[in-house]
């Protein structure tokens, strides 16, 4: 009998094998992780919000050297002019999928479509999804409050079916999804796929300090908080001293992008050298324990192409650090995947 795989219409749109999409995490979803996810059959998404135009071009070329599969680039575009310097690079390098992290760049949609680019927009409210569709988005991601990074206040379970009912374009789900059960749940809600982010931070391909990854695995479920202190926009993070300082005096938080510049000046260089507070990082709600529990799974190619019984998920602490940092190819799909027509 031929192997059965989980396939939805979004797979044909993106040219991928399974409806699993890497979240474009700034500073984490770089060439090694993007390529690993794409090579395993999902859609790797580059988190390019922190990159200069020249750095973006270099990172795209690194990714193309590691994979021949489709991948996407995620940029924050809350102001139309912010994306302008990056567009020629997307066109020159042949990027075919663009993810708008904060808002759809309405003035550039026709131009991007003219270059054959498919546009996916991250949304946290139904009205934002409707607006994105009206502006020309090809796909919307309904991102619940459980997600890491920029997020709204509505839970994934409540948000996804409302967005599915409100728009005619494909919808993918994001927020708190970490394994095959979550992907199947997203499909049951009407989504055509799932965006998974924080779980991939625990992989060696992620461009993140070891202390950062280990802090995620150690953290408990109640150790995250939504805050504006990093960028001026709400996002989810592990609780830490940096956040506590601002939460004690919220008036100090400046609007986006001024707060992002302040935050970057205080932490970015130390972060890249793995000297910063390891908890000073963005994280989704369902992240650490499950990322660790799933490290002893079959390779991604097996998991993408076959149905296997799950070895069991025990809420046990991770003692062996080799289990904390699994290979990205082992993280793409879940254990049991019914065939989807």
Mean pLDDT by 10 residues, the chain (341 residues): 75 97 94 96 94 96 98 84 92 98 89 98 96 97 90 92 99 94 96 95 87 83 86 84 88 87 64 42 44 30 34 31 44 44 32
Q: How far apart are CA 157 and CA 108, in angstroms?
A: 32
SS3 content of the chain, % helix, strand, coil (to 5): 40, 15, 45
Q: Is the dihedral of CA 124, 126, 131, 133 positive or negative?
A: positive
Predicted pLDDT of residue 280:
46
Question: Both tokens of residue 273?
Answer: 């050298």
Phi-psi label, residue 317: left if phi above 0, alpha if psi -120 to 50, beta otherwise:
beta
d(CA 126, CA 308): 36
DSSP letter at 85 equals G
Instruction: Identify the three-state secondary structure at position 316.
Output: coil
Please list the residues that pair with 142 across neighbouring strands. 123, 173
Under DSSP, the state recorded for 107 is G
Rounded to whole angstroms, how far apart are CA atoms 252 and 247? 9
User: What was the pLDDT predicted at 306?
Assistant: 35
Do 137 and 121 contact (CB within 8 A), yes or no? yes
| Distance, CA of 43 to CA of 34 (rounded, Å) | 8
Q: Are strands 224-227 and 235-238 parallel, antiparallel or unpaired?
A: antiparallel
Q: Of the candidates 33, 118, 31, which has an alpha carbon nearest to the alpha carbon of residue 300?
A: 33
Helix (H, G, I), strand (E, B) or coil at 74: strand
**pLDDT computed for residue 332 by the predictor:** 60
Q: Is 135 helix (H, G, I), strand (E, B) or coil?
A: helix
Residue in 49, 16, 1 with CA at minimum distance from that of residue 195: 16
**Model pLDDT, residue 321:** 33
Domain boundaries, the chain: 9-201, 210-272
Give dist(CA 31, CA 35) in Å, integer.
Answer: 6
The answer to whether 202 touches 217, Cβ cutoff 8 Å, is yes
- Nearest C-alpha neighbor of 267 from the set 279, 255, 283: 279
Cα separation, 256 vs 247, whole angstroms: 17
Output phi, psi for 204, to 5 deg. Answer: -65, -20
CA distances from 303 to 42, 43, 180, 204 (A): 12, 15, 10, 19
In this prediction, residue 274 carries a pLDDT of 40
Contact 178, 290 (CB under 8 A): yes
pLDDT at 294: 29
Ramachandran area for residue 304 (φ above 0: left; ψ -120 to 50: alpha; else beta) = alpha
End-to-end Cα distance, the chain: 17
CATH topology (fold) of 9-201: TIM Barrel (3.20.20)
Per-residue pLDDT at 209: 82
Which of 151, 86, 144 lies closest to 117 in space, CA to CA? Answer: 86
């Amino acid at each position: 009998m031929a192997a059965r795989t989980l396939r939805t219409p979004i797979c044909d749109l993106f040219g991928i094998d399974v409806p699993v999409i890497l979240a474009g995490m700034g500073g984490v979803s770089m060439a090694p992780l993007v390529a690993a996810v794409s090579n395993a059959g999902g859609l790797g998404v580059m988190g390019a919000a922190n990159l200069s135009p020249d750095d973006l071009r270099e990172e795209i070329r690194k990714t193309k050297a590691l994979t021949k599969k489709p991948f996407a680039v995620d940029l924050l575009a809350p102001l139309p002019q912010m994306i302008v310097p990056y567009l020629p690079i997307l066109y020159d390098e042949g990027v075919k999928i663009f993810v708008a992290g904060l808002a759809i760049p309405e003035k550039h949609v026709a131009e991007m479509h003219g270059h054959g680019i498919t546009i996916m927009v991250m949304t946290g409210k139904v009205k934002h999804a409707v607006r994105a569709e009206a502006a020309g988005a090809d796909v919307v991601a309904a991102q619940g409050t459980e997600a890491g990074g920029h997020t709204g206040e509505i839970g994934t379970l409540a948000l996804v079916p409302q967005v599915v009912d409100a728009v005619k374009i494909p919808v993918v789900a994001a927020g708190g999804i970490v394994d095959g059960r979550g992907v199947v749940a997203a499909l049951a809600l009407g989504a055509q796929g799932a965006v998974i982010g924080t779980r991939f931070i625990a992989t060696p391909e992620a461009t993140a300090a070891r202390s950062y990854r280990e802090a995620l695995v150690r953290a408990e479920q109640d150790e995250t908080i939504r805050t504006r202190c990093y960028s001026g926009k709400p996002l989810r993070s592990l609780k830490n001293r940096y956040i506590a300082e601002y939460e004690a005096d919220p008036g100090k938080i400046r609007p986006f992008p001024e707060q992002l510049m302040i935050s970057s000046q205080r932490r970015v260089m130390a972060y890249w050298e793995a000297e910063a507070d390891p908890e000073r990082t963005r994280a989704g709600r369902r992240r650490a324990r499950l990322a660790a529990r799933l490290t002893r799974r079959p390779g991604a190619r097996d998991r993408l192409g076959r149905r296997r019984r799950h070895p069991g998920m025990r809420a046990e602490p991770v003692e062996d650090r080799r289990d904390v940092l699994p290979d990205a190819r082992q993280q793409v799909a879940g254990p049991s995947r019914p065939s989807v027509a």
